Amino acid sequence: MAQLRHKAVHRIRVTVNRVRQYLLDAERLMTLLQDEAASKQLALLRQNAELATENMKTNKDLLETRAAKQVRQYADRIIELERLQHAAVQEMLKEDRACQISAVALLERAIGQHSQHALEIYYGNDGKVSEGPFDAESSSDAGEDLVGDFGRNDPAIDQGAMCREEWMEGDEVTLEVSEELEAFAPFVSIHHEQISVGLQTRRDIPSSAGGAEAELCEIIQARFEECTSSRCCVG
């Protein structure tokens, strides 16, 4: 009794089995004391405790069942969401690859069209050069403009025009070359004191020629115009 009173005062948490044991001990004690009223009351209290324990156990099982069902639903939902996420990622990667392929194809097509357009402008529809500083027709017209009325009967100018026309046709011209042309050794072949230069027309020079080729052409053209009036030997 002292132990029961101590536990009741301090409200120590006990288990269901210990509560059952306490009620059973109290009922036996009342029986020994021959207190039938207290014994009946304790017996009724013990029965109510048993019913409450059974109800609590049933509720616990029900809650555990519901919780397990919800956990399974959440797990299935998580699996479904992971599957959808994986499918979405794969679809996104597929669309990205398709966009990359399409962009590359469009870029290649644009580059091809630009190159074709540049070639058409450069060569013209008949395969001849239509533009550029080395065009034969434009160079001839420019030469006639520079000659003017004062040089139409000059034999040296006529000879220079003849050499210029043959030069524009791609013939080889032998010129005396100064030291400033020796820097362009990859483009000419040196033989003793003279150089045999295979002069190229504008159609042989690509549109993307570098600065060295352009500078070489300018120097050769300048030296050619100087030599046509004095020392020019057509091969």
User: Residue 24: its pLDDT value, please?
Assistant: 84
Q: Which segments of the chain have a pLDDT < 50?
A: 127, 129-161, 163-164, 166-210, 231-235
Instruction: Please return the burial class of 25, using the count of CB atoms within 10 Å of its CB with bins 0-12, 13-18 and 19+.
Output: middle
User: Residue 80: its pLDDT value, please?
Assistant: 95
Beta-strand ranges (E) seen in 107-198 are 172-176, 189-191, 194-198
Helices (H), 124-210: 136-147, 155-168
User: Residue 134: its pLDDT value, please?
Assistant: 42
Q: Phi first, then psi: what are they for 6, rounded to 5°?
A: -65, -45
Mean pLDDT computed over every residue of the chain: 67
Tens-place pLDDT, residues 73-82: 999 999 999 9
User: Residue 91: its pLDDT value, please?
Assistant: 94
User: Residue 224: its pLDDT value, please?
Assistant: 63
User: Residue 176: its pLDDT value, please?
Assistant: 43
Q: Domain spans of the chain?
A: 2-73, 136-234
Task: Characterize the bridge pairing of strands 189-191 and 172-176.
Answer: unpaired
Residue 139: strand, helix, or coil: helix
Which structure tokens are listed for 52? 């409450």
Q: Phi first, then psi: what are they for 39, rounded to 5°?
A: -65, -45
Q: DSSP letter at 127?
A: S
Name the residue type at position 43: A
Say what percent of the chain tops pLDDT 70: 46
Give CB contacts under 8 A, 24+ apart, made by 119-126: 122/207, 123/203
